[in-house]
Amino acid sequence: MIWQVGLLGLGTVGAGTAAILGDPAGRHPLLEKLHLRAVGVRHLHKPRHLSLEPGVLTTHLESIATDPEIHIVVELLGGLEPARTLILAALQHGKHVVTANKAVIAHHGAEIFTAATAAGRYVLMEGAVGGGIPIVQPLKQALGANRLHTVMGIVNGTTNYILTRMAQEGADFAAVLQDAQRLGYAEADPTADVDGWDAADKIAILASLAFGERVKRESVVCEGIRAVTATDIAYAERLGYVIKLLALAYQRPAGLDIRVHPTLVPQAHPLASVNGVNNAILVGGDPLGEVMLEGPGAGAGPTASAVVGDILTAAAALEAGLGFHPLLSCNHEGFAETLPLAQIASRFYVRLLSQDQPGVIGQLGTCFGRHAVSLESIVQIGHQEGLAEIVVITHEVNHGQLQAALEDIRALAALQSVPSLFRVL
Ligand code: HSE
């Protein structure tokens, strides 16, 4: 039996996927049993560096989702619509679905997986998180013996590239972003990456897989990297840290602690040395301990590697005649209770500018102490325009407590401003 594949989208990852499907030699033998029957595109006559069989291109995307000859629909359009509608249509028409679309899964996963279960079909999404890094299948299968408590990582290559260059060159965010856009490492509209939305989509998906409950995307606390300055990166380095955009999810006794934010990571931590466009995901659980997977988090080849792996999994299930496989399906329905921002605890780095006069550090210490914020270190590092620059690292404290202390601090006569506030791992 030949398994017919329909591809929705022929952008970077779509073209990478079509290229692998068209050149199966030396890969898994099951690839020889796959045939790319149709490819849905927006413009039929756009020049493409790809040899496809004549007649496979169509602009009627709906016809791919409903074609009775197609067994596996691969959605690589990105964005919420028409991806959501086409995925639901494909499931209703009895197809397994493979997608690399983190946004549609993070925002509409509950609806999509409920529809998949009702249809007795799978929605596979290895390419949605971490590009070529296998993480979805390990969380669903190989790590299933563990009580997982932590998933964290660097899941956005664009911001990791920008932060890496800022650290290497001592350059500011705006200049590096502009250069990254010129070189094609950042999109013309960089919002989803630099404001952390892409990473928030991905950690919502990972947390849901790791902890067995659905996660409402809007409950992910999300801060991007626009506020990270060359000054903070330099101070962090002097204190033994690098600044990374981390996506973190912890299963706490009081609920799910899930967030994306720039973070001071100790230089000796394995995530500190993940640089450039690479991604890395660290999973912690019992009895495993910790495991970290690192690799290329985006791009045609790596993401197509994940997508074709999923197509093979779907084809293997079809070969085996499996209508339902508990390790491939989504087997949870409830939504996780997430902790509100005020109750999320972490260590903090605070940079303050104040008049350089006696007693200021004492006053700061009093304000922190009044709100039970315990300090790990407080140092006056340098000067800026006649003002003293003071950097504080706290012990673990709730966000709400820290904000209350900062409110008191902002009212001090000697205090000029609080330019930076970041969390510390
Ligand atoms: N925009 C993403 C990133 C790639 O920069 O990592 C696709 O998920």
- Ligand 1 pocket residue status of 156, Cβ below 6 Å: yes
Ligand 1 atom having least distance to the Cα of 155:
6
Backbone dihedral region for residue 291 (phi beyond 0: left; psi -120 to 50: alpha; all else: beta): beta
Q: Is residue 415 helix, strand or coil?
A: strand
Distance CA 271, CA 77 (A): 30
Distance CA 7, CA 22 (A): 13
What distance lies between CA 193 and its chain's CA centroid? 9
pLDDT in tens, the chain (425 residues): 999 999 999 999 999 999 999 999 999 999 999 999 999 999 999 988 888 999 999 999 999 999 999 999 999 999 999 999 999 999 999 999 999 999 999 999 999 999 999 999 999 999 999 999 999 999 999 999 999 999 999 999 999 999 999 999 999 999 999 999 999 899 999 999 999 999 999 999 999 999 999 999 999 999 999 999 999 999 999 999 999 999 999 999 999 999 999 999 999 999 999 999 999 999 999 999 999 999 999 899 999 999 999 999 999 999 999 777 888 988 888 999 999 999 999 999 999 999 999 999 999 999 999 999 999 999 998 888 889 999 999 999 999 999 999 999 999 999 999 999 999 99
CATH number of 3-131+300-320: 3.40.50.720
- Ligand 1 pocket residue status of 132, Cβ below 6 Å: no
Q: Is residue 172 helix, strand or coil?
A: coil
Ligand 1 atom having least distance to the Cα of 128:
8
pLDDT value of position 331: 81
The pair of three-digit structure tokens given for residue 74, joined into one six-digit string: 């691969």
Which residues, at least 6 apart from 313, have a Cβ–Cβ distance to it below 8 Å? 122, 124, 137, 328
Ligand 1 atom having least distance to the Cα of 187:
1
- Ligand 1 pocket residue status of 193, Cβ below 6 Å: yes
Query: How many A from CA of 230 to the centre of ligand 1?
Result: 23
Query: How many A from CA of 51 to the centre of ligand 1?
Result: 26
Task: Encode 61-109 in three state secondary structure.
Answer: HHHHHHCCCCCEEEECCCCCCCHHHHHHHHHHCCCEEEECCHHHHHHHH
Q: Which CATH number fits domain 342-424: 3.30.70.260, 3.50.50.60, 3.20.20.70, 3.60.130.10?
A: 3.30.70.260
Active site (catalytic) residues: 202
Query: How many A from CA of 202 to the centre of ligand 1?
Result: 10
CATH fold label, 136-296:
Dihydrodipicolinate Reductase; domain 2 (3.30.360)
Q: Is residue 319 helix, strand or coil?
A: helix
**What residue segments make up the domains of the chain, in order of their start?**
3-131+300-320, 136-296, 342-424
- Ligand 1 pocket residue status of 298, Cβ below 6 Å: yes
pTM over 0.95: yes
The protein residue with its alpha carbon nearest to ligand 1, atom 2, reads 156
Longest Cα separation, the chain: 82
